[in-house]
Amino acid sequence: MKLSQVLSHTNQVERSKFINCIDKLCQDNKDDSDLSQQLDRIDGQLKSASGNEINQLFHLVQNHFKKHLQEQIALGGPQVSLLLNILARDGNSIATIHWVESLYAKEYQKIADLSHTLVLELEEEESGDIDRLSRLRTYRDCMAVAFNNDLKSNRTAKITEDERTILNVLAERLGLSREEVFSIEHSIDPIPEHGIDSSLELLREHGAIFINRRRSEVMAADEVVEIFHEIMGKEIHDKYALRILRSLSDAELSNILKFHGHKTRGISRQDKIATIAHSGLSIRSILANDLHAENTTQNQKKDRIKILIEEMDLDIQRIGSRLQDRIDVLLDFLKKNEEDEFNALSVSGYKELLESLSQATSNVESRIRSDFEIENKETLDPEHLKSLSITPLDILYLYSNDEIKTIRNDMGLPRKGNPRTQIIESFASANDRLIENYHLLASRDLQGLANAGIDIKESDIGVKFEEVTRSILEQLGLNVDEDLRKDINTAKDKADIIVSLENDDVIIGEAKSFKNGQFAKYASTSRQVKAYVKRCEVNGHRVAQVLIIAPEFSSDFIDAADMDTDINISLLEATGLQKILAAFKQRRNPNFSPKLLTKGGLLKADLISKSI
């Protein structure tokens, strides 16, 4: 979840520690001209600043924030580092405290067991892989010196931030996994088994996480998680590393395991991938060295990376001539492509993909929960998955290449080309058809929809109209806030759409499909939206506008909306929203502002389209 969204989902008390941290960094770095200008705009009153202003300040002090976190994590000790490793994993950025505790207990036991095994191996000089043991021993000796150095000066033994930075580089150069690093540290400076509350509070105190006490929930903003990765030396998200591993051959997976002292005989492909993925190996080291056979030449390694890029169907034009250039291009593409992956499918398209996979395979939910470590009580709807930064393509990569080809074939898609790309495009084109025939959904024209090749039950048209309306608003660049909508909605009052604006303002949207003629039910619609407005205001949000979308409005409805003094209402015909989206897509650099929807009365789509 983006920082701006986290701020809109937390109250003043819950975000106070983060704001205090940003405030201190601002005061300490007033010589930064950009930062100083932004502080002047809010007159130095950071505690009363809007979520958008806080977000802008954070991005200005981001490098200082990273330095601050590095210092505090080093002081926090191994338990804080292990917690950071858990919270930085895909799917764990939003989780209940109870779930984080269970993940910590599981991780602790794994580290403790491996630590015991490594100590025994290092004490037996003649056993195992001598080269691997030599690397492990070198790292252990360096860590022991770093930890015990303070004792010479009669200070408490600990590893400082500077020492940690050097040890991270050493671990990377020696080709050690994050799991091995934690295990060696555990043998020197034991990680506490229980009591993570104090470590969570330390992370909260220094702005790394937010804690929602009402829901007993830990939240780490996406931007802060990226900083976690930088501190840990993690170049890409685990989910991207997993995509690369699933594109490698069995022999290549075995090469990686052998290099790090793991067994390969009798181990299934899935277990090989899981072992490599969970051990926290450097993906750069895997691509540059580990996956290749011992006598592989530099040219052969370069060719393999080129083939890998082609096999993953990545749209990369220039891959470079050197091995490291090709690895850089591959990793940079994966890091920068997440937003495009989300935009490939609307929320409704994402939902249909999940439903289709559930019909094709019985275990899609268990795969998602297992791979992304999501608590059983959490829903797996597109909105929640999106807040965890899990894209539709991430879901498809939960399946092996053979499984995904079978799913593609069962869907009746062409057998040539990349199956994952074909599946995504099939749902994207289905959503495009719905947008093209949006006016038919609005007027509940079942025959017209059937003639357009859209198979839908009449009972589902209302829900589908809401979903497609949200999709259109998203494509216009608006922040359709599904998490906030869930927070505000009750069993009785259920708003169709919430659009988050700056300064905790919102637009409430209501999508009304109607079969016969003009929509005229103002009294009932007014009662509905006023209840939603009240719910928003109780939750600390100001309603800037209510937007009602329908096929057409009667003159009585338009007059009643104009005369309503309790709330500001804008009306927009479905065909008008289609026109606005069409104009938006035709512009090379469209300029659409949500203020265009807040003018009040019946909106003139033609004028809005010209102003984009």
Condensed to tens digits (0 to 9), the pLDDT of residues 112-123 reads 999 998 888 888
Rounded (10°) angle between helices 178-188 and 269-279: 50
Beta strands at 601-602 and 569-573: parallel, antiparallel or unpaired: parallel
User: What is residue 125's predicted lDDT score, i.e. its pLDDT?
Assistant: 60
If phi > 0 it is left, if psi is from -120 to 50 it is alpha, else beta; for residue 596 that is alpha
| Dihedral over alpha carbons 159, 160, 161, 164 (to 10 degrees) | -30
Q: Binning pLDDT at 50, 70 and 90, where does residue 368 land?
A: very high
* Angle 123-257-307 from CA coordinates, rounded to 5°: 150
Q: Is it the case that residue 395 has pLDDT exceeding 70?
A: yes
**How big is the chain, counted in residues?**
612
Condensed to tens digits (0 to 9), the pLDDT of residues 30-85 reads 777 777 776 666 655 666 666 677 887 888 888 889 989 988 887 788 899 899 99
SS3 546: strand
Bridge partners of residue 545, in order along the sequence: 507
Condensed to tens digits (0 to 9), the pLDDT of residues 146-183 reads 988 888 878 888 888 788 888 888 988 888 888 889 99
| Burial profile 300-319: b = 16 or more Cβ within 10 angstroms, e = fewer | ebbebbeebbeebebeeeeb
Mean pLDDT of 444-456: 89
Q: Is it the case that residue 127 has pLDDT exceeding 70?
A: no
Sheet-wide strand order for 601-602: 479-480, 497-500, 505-511, 542-550, 569-573, 601-602
Half-sphere exposure of 484 (CA within 13 A, CB side): 33
Q: Binning pLDDT at 50, 70 and 90, where does residue 144 land?
A: very high
Condensed to tens digits (0 to 9), the pLDDT of residues 517-558 reads 899 999 999 999 999 999 998 888 889 999 999 999 999 999
**CB-based burial of residue 228 (10 Å sphere; 0-12 exposed, 13-18 middle, 19+ buried)?**
buried
Q: Using an 8 Å Cβ cutoff, are 607 and 579 in contact?
A: no
Q: How far are the Cα atoms of 193, 312, 354, 396, 430 from residue 413, in angstroms, in the given order?
A: 51, 19, 17, 15, 13
Q: Using an 8 Å Cβ cutoff, are 228 and 87 in contact?
A: yes
**CB-based burial of residue 177 (10 Å sphere; 0-12 exposed, 13-18 middle, 19+ buried)?**
buried
What's 241-289 look like in SS3? HHHHHHCCCHHHHHHHHHHCCCCCCCCCHHHHHHHHHHHCCCHHHHHHH
For residue 600, give both structure tokens: 């009040």
Place of tokens 């659009």: 499
How many CB atoms neighbour CB 321 within 10 A? 8
User: What is residue 390's predicted lDDT score, i.e. its pLDDT?
Assistant: 92
Bridge partners of residue 546, in order along the sequence: 508, 569
Mean pLDDT of 417-425: 90
Q: Using an 8 Å Cβ cutoff, are 502 and 51 in contact?
A: yes
Which DSSP state fits 154? T
Q: Using an 8 Å Cβ cutoff, are 239 and 154 in contact?
A: no
* Angle 92-93-96 from CA coordinates, rounded to 5°: 70
